[in-house]
Amino acid sequence: MAHLPNPDSNLTNIKWRFPSVHPEGRKYVMIAGGVTLLTYLLVSHFIGWLLVGLTIWVAAFFRDPIRTTPLNPRLIVAPADGLVTHIVRVPAPPELRAELREGEFTRVSIFMSVFDVHINRSPIAGRVRRIAYVPGKFVNADLDKASEDNERQHFVVESVDGVKVGFTQIAGLVARRILSFVAEGDQVVAGERIGLIRFGSRVDVFLPAGTGTRLLLGQRSIAGETVVAELGVDPRLAGSVQ
């Protein structure tokens, strides 16, 4: 994972560049492009031009932008791009209780629409202690019950200080595959790419006891960059919708 130089180095300018397409999505872009070309040549120029838009959308869906993650072991960063739809106190999922133990956790749910970046990232640095896949339904991931009913994949990452943070990929209405880029026992850094969900979904992150979120309902997060919480700090923020 690339790290930006510190402010004392000679390199201080960062230029925007077009996001690349993640390797997992390149075959879908090629399929969409091939169908578009054949339709344009053999069926209809008009429909072919319409399918150009679909091809561009497929490429955009699998875009994989570079993110800059704060290197502070006390910070928990967002595992997903999207809209903060739920902030609730809940027990740990049954599949993670052996690692996270009993008690209540603050669950922050981030809903990814089909227009958001769908690469998911680790909220903290540490070792992957647990990955648990659970088959299930494909109801709207924006609903609270999706945490218990939908197809999902749980993770627990343990920091060098022994702090464990759980998070869950949840499939949605049109999501039909949850992918993991890491395995149990792998060492990850905060903001590292750990998985992807196709197409439209949600990610829950479970904050340890004594830790509250810096996010508010209705805010948008950026995976690997937005600070969800600081370990041991509960800011108890209030906000307004304008």
Residue 144 clears pLDDT 80, i.e. is over it: no
Q: How far apart are CA 65 and CA 20, in angstroms?
A: 6
Q: How many CB atoms lie within 10 A of CB 176?
A: 12
Q: Which contiguous run of DSSP H or E holds residue 202?
A: strand 201-207
CA distances from 238 to 92, 220, 228 (A): 25, 15, 15
CA–CA distance, 20 with 193 (Å, rounded to integer) = 14
Nearest to 189 by CA among 98, 101, 138, 122: 122
Arithmetic mean of pLDDT, 191-205:
87
Q: Which residues, in sequence order, are CB contacts of 165 under 8 Å at separation 6+?
A: 76, 123, 124, 126, 156, 157, 159, 205, 206, 207, 208
The percentage of residues in the chain with a pLDDT greater than 70, rounded to a whole number, is 87
Q: What is the pLDDT of residues 8-25, one digit of tens each?
A: 445 567 777 777 888 887
Residue 128 pLDDT = 96
Reported as a single tens digit per residue, the pLDDT across 32-73 is: 899 999 998 998 889 889 999 989 988 888 889 999 999 899
Condensed to tens digits (0 to 9), the pLDDT of residues 87-115 reads: 999 998 889 988 988 788 999 999 998 88
Both tokens of 224, joined, read 């690997």
**CATH number of 75-230: 3.40.50, 1.10.390, 2.70.70, 2.40.128?**
2.70.70
Helix 45-61 and helix 23-42, axial crossing angle in degrees, nearest 10: 180
Q: Residue 197: pLDDT band by 50, 70, 90 thresholds?
A: confident
| Residue 201 appears among annotated catalytic residues | yes
Where does 106-208 have alpha helices with state H?
146-149
* Burial readout 100-138 (b: 16 or more C-beta within 10 A, e: otherwise): beeeebbbbbbbbebebbbbbbbbbbbebbbbbebeeeb
* pLDDT number for residue 142: 62
C-alpha span between 41 and 159 (Å, rounded): 55
Better-scored residue on pLDDT, 214 or 25: 214
What is the pTM (predicted TM-score) of this model?
Answer: 0.84
Catalytic residue among 122, 147, 201, 221: 201
What is the C-alpha separation between 153 and 131, in angstroms, rounded? 7
- The contacts of residue 213 (CB under 8 Å, 6+ apart) are 87, 106, 108, 207, 228, 229, 235, 237
Tell me the mean pLDDT in the region 107-130.
93
